Amino acid sequence: MSSDVEPADLNVNTLDRLAATVKNEIQASKDAQSNALDHALNAGDALNLAQERVSTNWKRWVRESCDLASSTALLYQRLARHRAEIKAEIERIGELSLCAARRLISAPAEKTPKPKKPRPDLVAAWMRLTDSEITAALREIPLLHFLRVMPAVWRAELRNRGAHLDQTSSNPDPRISKIVQTALSHIATADQPGTGKPVAQGQENAALTALRTLLTVLHGIGCDLHDVEVVLKPKTSGAKKRAA
């Protein structure tokens, strides 16, 4: 690319000469569209040198001394800083417009994504374990370590469950005991010798319905099947099962 003022010459120019160079190159780029990019690059060189000498109010100096908007000045400066890249593109394709050069330097560089470190899917592995295997694994973890890493939401849930279990242990819900007794009664009837198959099936279905009712009651009081314990309450006439 040709230039009336080489960058080496610009180093010795005053700010007034630099401002004049900027204005002349911009006007030349308007007059000669085929060589507009050359003049824009030369204007950018002059602006970059001038910015090193203007200590304050750079945008004001550009506006007043060069009759140029600061955004346009910034574009010319960026083009000049990418002169080598632009010249390489011109050598490759033969010609480059000002707009094409702006697109060239604005194209985001392709970033190679960092490979993600493989990590074992602990949750999936945990869910494949049986209850006995999980219990065996937990025995290997010190209690204090487990408590330290345990999610905070677990702590609140354990406190609530513990309080509820203490309450239900001392004051068992009579509905739960009644439902368990009813389910067992239907099973006992179905298992009696001489009970026909249709009657036995009906009794088993009734027992299953009672147990489903038990789950509904448990959910209603904030419990699940893991909160249920069956204990024997001695009585003079035998033993009665109580659910707590």
Count of beta carbons in the 10 Å neighbourhood of residue 10: 18
User: What is the domain partition of the chain in residue ranges?
Assistant: 7-106, 171-244
β-strand partners of 234: 239
List per-block mean pLDDT (blocks of 10 residues) for the chain, which spans 244 residues: 45 74 79 73 89 87 88 90 89 83 74 63 83 86 82 80 60 77 86 86 88 82 70 58 47
Instruction: Give me the pLDDT at residue 109, please.
Output: 53
d(Cα 24, Cα 32) in Å, to the nearest integer?
12
Has this prediction a pTM greater than 0.85?
no
Instruction: Give me the pLDDT at residue 56, please.
Output: 82
Instruction: Give me the pLDDT at residue 170, please.
Output: 56
Instruction: Give me the pLDDT at residue 139, please.
Output: 85
